[in-house]
Structure 1
Amino acid sequence: MAMKRFILTKRVFQNTSYSRSHTRYETFHRRLEGCQIKGGVVMKFFTAASIIALSVAAALPPAAVAADKPVVGLVMKSLANDFFKNMLEGAEAHEKKRGDYELKAIGMQNETDFESQLNGVENFITQGVDAIVIAPADSRAMVTPLKKAMDAGITVVNFDVSLDEQAKKDAGIDLAFVGPDNRGGAKMVGEALAKSLGAGGKVVILEGNPGADNAAQRKLGFEDAIAEGKLDLLDSRTAHWETEEANSVFSTMLTAHPDIQGVMAANDSMAIGVIKALDVAGRSDIKVVGFDNVPAVAPLVKDGKLLATVDQFGSQMAADAIDKALEVVAGGPKLEGWVKTNIELVTKDNVK
């Protein structure tokens, strides 16, 4: 009986619908090390859930096993952020529309809950998913667990936030990036603010997480716009992408620099926090720009409280990355370089 189960498990992992069958089989084989065969049953110190899962797999006929869909693990950042809520909704709609893969999605509780992403990737490796599609919260820290996933034969697609190039080089991995030009987008919205203020305008920057590549790129884009527009940068601090922290950080900035004329927020969540602080302070003369075009800012753009933002089409971003991952899983070519996705400036003239 034990041998029968082992052979069937090998057949599962050699199903032609999976491009990395051999690696998955070898990984599972290593997990069987230390097993004892007693009374015709494979015994190991697995959890009860693992034993049940193995028994269910063994009970399936070959035809049912062959019909299994590839599994995609989606790893996002904070689901408290509307951008990633919309991303999740888009991914779930995409799974339903395609119908040929299974989606397992996780997100962080907040923007600094890095441990959730680390644990999520580890769990996906243990589960033996076919692909991991990830928007990393920390561009350096996530390289090591993702290398482990790649070594296990899992297709990895990095989207939205690029992994750190030096960290990838140090780890010996070559992984493409599917995502927008964050620096270009920040410069674009920063130029809109510079045009509105004119040379000499006094501005501050609210940055994203220091360890995230998109935060660094957006800050650079803002600085490009400041230099070209001859603006005066009074202060630049992180608010970790969070609305309430941005509210607090900006309130401190405003106290220190009551002559602020413009604010460059690296995402819309922080821009909303700034606008709340301005409402409390009774300041309607300070102009604010953001990034992401989450649904919550549409009325703010229409009312003029938010001068502009950048749409990077977040609801479609994960779906596009999943498509690319499934192409590789099915035997398509490996992704290379930077696969750019679209961005668009959103102002009162084109907001929906």
Structure 2
Amino acid sequence: MKNNRKLSLRTVSSAVALLALSACGQEGDGASSATGGKAKGAGKNGEPTVCLVMKSLGNEYFQAMQKGAEAHVAKRGDLKLKASGIQNETDIDGQVAAINGCITDQVDALVVAPADSRALVAPLGRAVKAGIKVINIDVKLDDGALGSAGLDIPFVGPDNTEGARLSGEVLGEELGKGAKVVILEGNPGAANAQQRKAGFEAAAKASGLTVVDSKTAHWETDEAYTVMSNWLTKHPDIKGVLASNDSMALGAIKAIQAKQSKIKIASFDNIEAIRPYVKEGTVLATLDQYGAEQAANGIDEAMKAIKGEDLQTWVKTKIKVVTAEDLG
């Protein structure tokens, strides 16, 4: 009986020792992080982990962004990617939850396209405090909110104001001076929504267009359909629409077709679903901002940050106006 008890104690002691060694091995797995010590999210081969938090994956633009990011990571082969999105464009709580999940997972870097330029600053501040490198893509975080929080987060993305101006000028050239137009705005809390509205207003002014109304449809197709339907009743002499993204342009098109109207549209994003309307002339222009490349560039900047390299304040990504001529 005594021999059995000694054997049992030795077995327990050995198991405890093995568990301790195993725990030490896990803690030591991975390369050094930019904050010193070990890379928090490193996998078996020591690759750092990068979280990509996007906006609505119901939007074709962000679906393409995710695919592009995954292809880029596969090509690089030196990191792990955790990609996520939200249910709809106004699901700010969903983005906060995703960011908190990245913090809990102790990832090495976080690349985020914020749904709101101010509301996401606080959770991103928590990520920075946790030693996570943060890169902002697509929608610029509010400079005032960043300053108040004592944060310096690099931005990788396009000049939204210039892009909207270029797209809007195509509509202006077609409609001519005095034509009445409306603007479909994005989320009021998103910097790119404000910037695109400013760009469209600049294009309207330069072309002599008259903006008779401007309202948000929160980037959403169904809401844009409702807004546009109301405008067609309120302003029956509208000649053009300046849509801050293609998803809202699709909603406007549906309302326009229901009225058998010949209203023309200038838009933003160049998603696959808008291209048939560009080809047949309802949409005169859309603006390609290369979302997949934005994500890839953001991931590259995150990897530089993890390695302790200096980053640019703004990595300006390319834009291109797309018309029927470009689509053949």
TM-score, normalised to structure 1, is 0.84
Partners of 1:348 and 1:7 in 2: CA distance: 61
Contact 1:203 1:232 in 2 (8 A): yes
In the alignment, structure 1 residue 11 sits paired with structure 2 residue 17: no
Question: 1:305 is aligned with what amino acid?
Answer: T
Select which of 125, 136, 139 maps to 1:158: 136
The amino acid across from 2:68 in the alignment is G
Letter in 2 for 1:269: S
Q: Return the alpha-carbon distance in structure 1 between the equivalents of residues 99 and 327 of structure 2.
A: 36
1:20 alignment partner, one of 26, 35, 38: 35
Aligned to 2:121: 143
Deviates more, 1:16-25 or 1:108-117: 16-25
Corresponding position of 1:312: 289
Which residue number in structure 2 is paired with residue 267 of structure 1?
245
| Counterpart pick for 1:170 among 134, 138, 148 | 148
Once the two structures are superposed, residues 293-321 of structure 1 have per-residue CA deviations (whole angstroms, 9 ceiling, x without a partner) of 00111111111011100000112221121
In 2, distance between residues paired with 1:151 and 1:338?
Answer: 22
Cα deviation per residue 1:91-143 (whole Å; 9 max; x = unaligned)? 11112222211110110111111111100000100100011000000000000
Over 3 Å off, 4+ runs: 1-10, 21-25
Q: Distance in 1 between matches of 2:314 and 2:77?
A: 28
Aligned to 2:268: 291
Across the aligned residues of Structure 1 and Structure 2, the Cα RMSD in angstroms comes to 1.9
Alignment correspondent of 1:339:
315
Give secondary structure in 2 for the equivalent of 1:133: strand
8 Å Cα contact 1:185/1:310 also seen in 2: yes
Aligned to 2:7: none
Residues 55 and 114 in structure 2, CA contact (< 8 A), matched pair in contact too:
yes
Provide the identity percentage. 50
Does 2:70 correspond to 1:92?
A: yes
SS of the residue corresponding to residue 88 of structure 2 reads coil
Which AA in structure 2 matches 1:260?
A: I
Q: Give the C-alpha shift of residue 161 in structure 1.
A: 0.4
Give, in angstroms, the shift of residue 225 of structure 1: 1.0
Contact 1:23 1:152 in 2 (8 A): no
2:32–2:39 CA contact under 8 A, matched in 1 = no
Determine if contact 1:24/1:152 at 8 Å carries over to the other structure: no
Aligned 8 A contact 2:167 2:287 in 1: yes
CA shift, 1:213, in A, is 0.5
> Which of 104, 108, 129 is equivalent to 1:130?
108
- In 2, the alpha carbon distance for the partners of 1:118 and 1:169 equals 20
Aligned pairs for 1:91-110 (under 5 A) are 91-110=69-88
Q: Tell me, yes or no, if the aligned pair for 1:24 and 1:153 is still in contact at 8 Å.
A: no
Q: Output one character per residue of 1:243-291: Cα deviation in whole Å (capped at 9) or x when no partner.
A: 111001010011000000010000000011111111111112x111110
State the Cα distance separating 1:183 from its structure 2 match. Answer: 0.4
What is the Cα deviation at residue 17 of structure 1?
Answer: 4.5
Unaligned runs of 5+ in 1: 29-56, 58-63
Unpaired segments ≥5 residues, structure 2? 1-16
Give how far 1:4 is off.
4.3
- 2:264/2:284 contact within 8 Å kept: yes
Matched, 1:242 2:257: no
| Cα distance between partner residues in 1 of 2:327 and 2:202 | 25
Residue pair 1:291, 1:309 contacting (<8 A) in 2 also: yes
Is 1:324–2:301 an aligned residue pair?
yes
Contact 1:179-1:341 at 8 Å conserved across structures: yes
Aligned partners of 2:31 and 2:46 also within 8 Å: no
Q: Deviation of residue 18 (structure 1)? A: 2.6
- The separation in 1 between residues aligned to 2:230 and 2:55, in whole angstroms, is 27
Q: Distance in 2 between matches of 1:94 and 1:165?
A: 29
- 5 Å-filtered alignment, 1:3-82, equals 4=21, 7-8=24-25, 10-12=27-29, 15-22=30-37, 65=44, 67-82=45-60
